[in-house]
Every structure is written in structure tokens, then in C-alpha cells.
Structure 1
Amino acid sequence: MTDQKIAATGRTKKPAGSDERPSYEQARAELASVVERLEAGGVSLEESLALWERGERLAEICQGWLDGARERLDTARRSREPATEG
């Protein structure tokens, strides 16, 4: 992440090799903050682009969590269904 992106998002650099994925709640809260900043305006084009890119990444993270949750629910439902003989 560049220094400009860090300044635009308010995030700090993580240690090299650290690729921690935020929780769904953390990603959603940060995404809401990014959207607020973009909607408020008053930031440079470079900051807007950095915020947009961060927002896209956060949306992907949230979608990943939601997809994983749906998969777990589907698996749990299937395991409760009686076996059918065919």
C-alpha cells in the first residue's frame, strides 16, 4: 500500500508477510467509512482513487465472508436432510 493510499484510508502498514483478513464486521465498517468519505467529497483525485480501490477490496472481502457463510449454511442444511434412496 502506498503512503498516499495509507493517508487516504487511514490504515497503517502491516508487517511484511502479514496478510490478515479483517472480520466481516471490520471490513463492512471500514467500507461504510470509505463510502462516507467519497460521498462527502473534498478529497483529491488521487485520494479518491485510493479510496475507491480500497472500497472495492473491502467489498470483495465482505462478499467472500458472505459466500463462505452461505456455503456453511447450505452444508449444515444438507447434513440434516434425511438420506434418500434412489
Structure 2
Amino acid sequence: MFGLLNKNTKRLHSFGQISKFEDGKYTISYKDTNIFIITNHKFDLGDWVLLYGKFKNDVLHVRYIEKLIAVDIFILEKIANFLEENEKNENNK
């Protein structure tokens, strides 16, 4: 499910900003959360990306990644929060 960056899952479908590139790994950041990803795609520092992948040894191996252009990040955050809250409500029924 689409959500905010979260290291405590096996799979991740989220978004974040490229904050660092070192040793063949990108660091993706959003607020106080950082994750490492491995991808063959090339990005610039500061790019925002939408991504999906599976964690292996604390590194997200990306199956899908795309640069976000002219997207309001706050709208994505609201969508992610809404979906997470909706899932919690469905599980409590």
C-alpha cells in the first residue's frame, strides 16, 4: 500500500527526495526518515521520486522508480496519511 517512508516493512511503495549518492546507493529522505536504495536509474540530488521495492539487508531494491515533476509533495503526504488511516479504520471494524 502507498504510504510514507517506513523502514519497518518488507516492501515499500512511497515517495521521497534524493539527498545523497554514495557507494552506488542513493539516500532517499522525507522528514526524519532516510532509506537507502539501489537502482540503475540516474537522479540528481534534490530530485523527488515515487518508488516501489523490497527491502534486503536494510537497502530497498527498487522495482519501480520515477522522478516526480511538478507534483505538490504535501498532496502526496495527505494521500499517504489518508490511506494509512483508512486501513487502520478498516482493520478495527
TM > 0.5 between the two?
no
Q: Which has the higher contact order (CA 8 A, sep 6+)?
A: 1
Structure showing greater Rg: 1
Larger proportion of helix? 1
TM-score, scaled relative to structure 1:
0.32
Larger proportion of strand? 2
